[in-house]
């Protein structure tokens, strides 16, 4: 994706500090939130925000599709909210303390940089970048400002994921040399495109910097599977799991990636619907497998060490020891008691008030997205790539 930077994004990307949020909050002060991108993911984020118990109100809502803006207005926290097609009108509202961005991926960095330039704190959905090149601009923009940016990697606030990382880093599994990740979903039964009234949609605005093209219901609803707007399973699903692997293993990028991907069922997509991938890190490997027409087993990770194996999903985790002979495996088990998006949103709200670093800082979000981009790079280059990508040697 390419776009023409405006003055806001230019100032941030150029390293000049934005107008910092200077409002001092008391414990019971009500935050004023701007919503940018009011689709299904935003609905979940707002449900979680309302579950935190932190007082807030939705002050402004932006979406290119009128019914989605109107849906947000039905919330008790949004009865007085203004609605806008253009997200810049949300950023221009000086009463807005922070914005939640849940647009398609190709808008993420542009809107985030402009939000920072407008002095807003930001909750930015994953993947935080749409291309490898955007990572440096986003990091520079965040670190050149004094704003809070929470990346949408909610496992970083999810209790049993945090406990699992502590156990792995504490040596409970011995030496971990392989991490298996997987995610299966069924787009034939779920995620079925819903009808859209195109008279209430600004399709040109939705496209943004993507190539001009006629409206497509499939692209509008399943944009994650088209290169102009998303990055397929590598940036939608794998991004969550590789974040946990990199966090637990204290590594931030692979040195090599292999990816075998095919479009067996959803041939109209750009991105493969069936994937086998492998990533090499110093001292360990990560593998991923998934397909989009079978949801049995859902998604999860396995950390395999010399002493024990830790298996973890969003429902909980279990540790299986290598030397247990009496059938007592798993030797440790923990179940999830809430969706991690709720404590993640609560952490964001708390950091707005305290100005402390959030649980998912921008570097973590960039690193997780980068691994997915590197996997896609391998897919586009015959199934294999080294990272950083080697430049071809000039011929004399």
What's the pLDDT tens digit per position in 362-376?
999 999 999 999 999
CA dist 308 and 126 (Å) reads: 31
CA dist 377 and 98 (Å) reads: 34
Closest CA to 367 of 272, 234, 265, 242: 242
CA dist 199 and 190 (Å) reads: 26
pLDDT score recorded for residue 7: 37
For the domain with range 159-337+372-386, which CATH number is right: 3.40.50.12780, 3.30.360.10, 3.40.50.2300, 3.40.50.300? 3.30.360.10
Domains 7-155+343-360 and 159-337+372-386 belong to one CATH topology: no
The pTM for the full model equals 0.92
Closest CA to 296 of 167, 189, 206: 189
Range of lowest pLDDT (2-6, 20-24, 288-292, 308-312): 2-6
Any idea which residue has 């966090």 for tokens? Answer: 247
Q: What is the C-alpha end-to-end distance of the chain, expressed in Å? A: 34
> Tens digits of per-residue pLDDT, 238-268?
999 999 999 999 999 999 999 999 999 999 9
CA dist 10 and 170 (Å) reads: 43
Helices marked H in the chain: 7-13, 40-51, 66-73, 88-91, 108-117, 134-143, 159-169, 203-207, 217-221, 233-236, 238-249, 341-354, 362-380
pLDDT score recorded for residue 102: 98
pLDDT score recorded for residue 25: 66
Looking at the chain, the whole-number percentage of residues with pLDDT higher than 70 is 91
**pLDDT bracket for residue 24 (50, 70, 90):** low
CA dist 176 and 302 (Å) reads: 10
CA dist 291 and 162 (Å) reads: 27
Domain 7-155+343-360 has CATH 3.40.50.150: no
| Residue ranges per structural domain of the chain | 7-155+343-360, 159-337+372-386
Prior bond of 127 cis (ω within 30°): yes
Cβ atoms within 10 Å of 184's Cβ, excluding its own: 17
Higher pLDDT, 76 or 192: 76
pLDDT score recorded for residue 17: 42
**pLDDT bracket for residue 188 (50, 70, 90):** confident
**DSSP bridge partners of 151:** 124
């Amino acid at each position: 994706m390419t776009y023409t930077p405006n003055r806001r994004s230019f100032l941030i990307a150029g390293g000049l500090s934005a107008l910092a949020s200077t409002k001092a909050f008391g414990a019971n002060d009500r935050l004023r939130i701007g919503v940018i991108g009011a689709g299904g993911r935003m609905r979940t984020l707002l449900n979680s925000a309302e579950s935190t118990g932190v007082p807030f109100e939705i002050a402004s809502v932006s979406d290119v599709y009128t019914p989605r803006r109107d849906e947000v207005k039905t919330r008790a926290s949004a009865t007085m909210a203004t609605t806008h097609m253009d997200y810049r009108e949300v950023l221009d509202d000086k009463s807005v303390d922070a914005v939640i961005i849940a647009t398609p991926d190709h808008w993420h960095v542009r809107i985030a940089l402009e939000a920072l330039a407008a002095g807003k704190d930001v909750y930015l959905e994953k993947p935080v970048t749409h291309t490898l090149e955007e990572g440096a601009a986003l990091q520079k923009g965040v670190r050149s400002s004094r704003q809070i940016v929470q990346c949408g990697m909610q496992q970083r606030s999810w209790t049993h994921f945090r406990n699992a990382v502590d156990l792995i880093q504490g040596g409970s599994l011995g030496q971990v040399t392989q991490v298996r990740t997987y995610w299966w979903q069924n787009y034939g039964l779920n995620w079925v495109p819903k009808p859209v009234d195109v008279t209430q949609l600004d399709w040109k605005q939705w496209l943004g910097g993507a190539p001009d093209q006629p409206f497509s219901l499939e692209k509008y609803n399943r944009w994650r599977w088209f290169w102009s707007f998303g990055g397929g399973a590598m940036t939608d699903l794998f991004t969550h799991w590789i974040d946990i692997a990199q966090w637990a293993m204290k590594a931030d990028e692979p040195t090599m990636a292999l990816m075998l991907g095919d479009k067996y069922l959803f041939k109209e997509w750009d991105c493969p619907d069936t994937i086998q991938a492998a990533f090499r890190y110093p001292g360990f490997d990560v593998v991923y497998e998934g397909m989009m027409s079978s949801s049995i087993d859902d998604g999860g990770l396995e950390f395999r060490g010399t002493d024990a194996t830790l298996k973890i999903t969003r429902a909980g985790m279990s540790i299986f020891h290598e030397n247990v002979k009496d059938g007592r495996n798993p030797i440790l088990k923990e179940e999830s008691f809430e969706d991690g998006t709720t404590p993640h949103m609560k952490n964001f709200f708390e950091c707005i008030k305290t100005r402390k670093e959030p649980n998912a800082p921008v570097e973590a979000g960039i690193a997780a997205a980068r691994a997915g981009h590197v996997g896609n790079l391998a897919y586009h280059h015959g199934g294999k790539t080294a990272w950083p990508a080697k430049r071809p040697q000039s011929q004399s």
